[in-house]
Structure 1
């Protein structure tokens, strides 16, 4: 038989390598082999010890940026461009935005990715496509904010204040990632005065009162599983995404107390919740379901199915599935739970995120006290 020749493995002309440093971090460099000669290009980018989740995420951003430089160098080398070793790397802003988008895609942050795509279009309109990342300074960032607030008209009209704040967060987030990846010395947004940055308008949190929850309980609905899931959320505070992802294996009993443990879909943070008898009341029977089966088998278009139910219950305020989470928070605070505990039950990373509910409860207290006005005149 003729001898089958094994395919020759083509060596990469440029390899990304690491060099361990005395402080435990690793320096990234390119090992370049060309025309029988080996040279090195140190990227001034570093991998830090992965002691926590933030360190791992920072290293992912750094590696994505380093691999982008490596790919660019290979293109330059194979296309015959001279001076590759002495070439000083220049990253275009829009190329970095693409790198940042890829990083968010790996983390499965679909909403963030969509916002990044919009910000890329905004940046093209504001500054064109040839801006170098190193050129981003205070004046550029101030101009970006001014253009976004006064001139940007994607649909023929100004964008809302909340949208301005979102697009500011996306761009400053991309610049912070560039700083962590050693591609930018500093983020100019961090040096701007607070008054110069787009402000997030205080959102109106629609929630159900205890009487309205009672009315919903008493009102029938076509799909009972949708009703059960909403009321379950009212008594435990889970988002719809977490309820959809909730499996029977996530529910367990600890010393007589039912609890659930899962990683939240939105933040990827673990959450451990005790389940009250009122919450358990709205869980379906397990029957012969397996550990991997969903607790709630829900249809699509949840909010469209909820609105007729709310209308039948006499509720006229804004009503979506997320009002259940708001209802849980305000109900806990109204009944005397402290802010820190409620923050942990909601899975908030910062207690300041929970303070908006405290404001709602305080307003209710003000309204209650003022009910006596004029009674004794």
Structure 2
């Protein structure tokens, strides 16, 4: 009797592998071997320690998506030359969960927004919508749904909140493009008029007279007072002031400067410090280069502490730590600095972001010239 030959096992050109990380999680990557060459593709997906049932379910979702990418790469390698296009399906809700975990892995604090946005997407599109089904029409209909139908607790949310939920989807789709699960993000293709519009923001700021009043008014926490006034004279966000270290401060040809990578934009800037700003910087003393310049409580606590100080100074307008940054911008423009220079001092990526302050200054000019109205009737 003829012996039955076992089928030859076909070697796959792509293997899904894991790399153990120091925190106990595992990073997923593809080991690709083709034509005698080996390459690696790190997926930015992670298997977390299975401490509970939710973690096990999350790992199952992550592995499903990772295997989908692996299958897609195999198809691309074996059939790409022949012009065959077969897309592996990845469900939108699965990808949103993966995106949320990846954001947490990188210490991003938007987990709750992603959770709510995922819930909205489930109500809008159901559980079986795949990433490749998201096109321009999907995005326009989703925006229309947020405007007209989405009513948590029976109330329509502000455009600002709705825009945040759209931003979450936009970021998740950009991540899917980077993972090569989709070719392009259709939200990026929408016209500005088709996106959720925001009303022009009203930015509260202190006038020069009000800054003088704050300087003259004592505050129990002198470090917080100094940090706020320092921001008034350099424009740094609270997150950048909290993270500021002595190694970031240097002197360049007699000019004090800060070398700061801004927390929000990650944009590196070299910020010159005026003598007014230096007045509110603490003495270094015996602090090392790695020590923080300001010894401060949390940003939320600082916002609580500064309100009684502002009230004591006679200020009754909206007052948060961020008003110091607005104060710096309007003060620079009021004193004659040009828009482009002010934009660079603020670390704005686009001068358009600074134009809102120019509008504030123009309104002040209008009010000033109108002061003479009626005086000579």
- Tell me which interval the TM-score lies in, with the shorter structure as reference length: 0.7 to 0.9
* Aligned residues of 1:257 and 1:275 also touching (Cα < 8 A): yes
Match of 2:44 in 1: 64
* Aligned residues of 1:16 and 1:70 also touching (Cα < 8 A): no
Query: Which stretches in structure 1 are left out of the alignment for 5+ residues?
Result: 1-11, 18-27, 33-38, 41-45, 48-58, 77-82
1:112-141 deviation digits (Å, cap 9, x = unpaired): x43222211110111222111111123322
**C-alpha spacing 1:70/1:13, structure 2 compared with 1 (3 Å):** farther
* Aligned residues of 1:235 and 1:278 also touching (Cα < 8 A): yes
Confirm whether residue 96 of structure 1 aligns to residue 95 of structure 2. yes
- Pairs within 5 Å for 1:1-377: 15-16=15-16, 63-64=43-44, 71-72=63-64, 89-111=88-110, 113-300=111-298, 301-377=301-377
How far apart, CA to CA, are the structure 2 residues paired with 1:221 and 1:208? 17
**How far off its partner does 1:31 sit?**
5.5
* Aligned residues of 1:231 and 1:282 also touching (Cα < 8 A): yes
TM-score by length of 1: 0.77
**How far off its partner does 1:204 sit?**
0.8
How far apart, CA to CA, are the structure 2 residues paired with 1:181 and 1:73? 10
Match of 2:21 in 1: none
Match of 1:54 in 2: none
Match of 1:6 in 2: none
Query: Which stretches in structure 2 are left out of the alignment for 5+ residues?
Result: 1-11, 18-28, 48-58, 69-74, 80-85
Q: Number of residue pairs matched?
A: 324
Q: Which secondary structure does the structure 1 equivalent of 2:154 belong to? A: coil
1:57-106 deviation digits (Å, cap 9, x = unpaired): xx87xx33799999338879xxxxxx9x9985211011222333344334
* Aligned residues of 2:217 and 2:309 also touching (Cα < 8 A): yes
How far apart, CA to CA, are the structure 2 residues paired with 1:269 and 1:191? 25
Q: Which secondary structure does the structure 2 equivalent of 1:235 belong to? A: helix
How far apart, CA to CA, are the structure 1 residues paired with 2:151 and 2:316? 33
**How far off its partner does 1:333 sit?**
0.6
Q: Which secondary structure does the structure 1 equivalent of 2:94 belong to? A: helix
**How far off its partner does 1:245 sit?**
0.8
**C-alpha spacing 1:341/1:74, structure 2 compared with 1 (3 Å):** closer
* Aligned residues of 2:65 and 2:90 also touching (Cα < 8 A): no
**C-alpha spacing 1:338/1:234, structure 2 compared with 1 (3 Å):** same
* Aligned residues of 1:233 and 1:239 also touching (Cα < 8 A): yes
**How far off its partner does 1:297 sit?**
0.5
1:138-158 deviation digits (Å, cap 9, x = unpaired): 332222112211222233311
How far apart, CA to CA, are the structure 2 residues paired with 1:16 and 1:132? 22
How far apart, CA to CA, are the structure 2 residues paired with 1:73 and 1:115? 22
Q: Which secondary structure does the structure 2 equivalent of 1:64 belong to? A: strand
TM-score by length of 2: 0.77
**How far off its partner does 1:14 sit?**
6.0
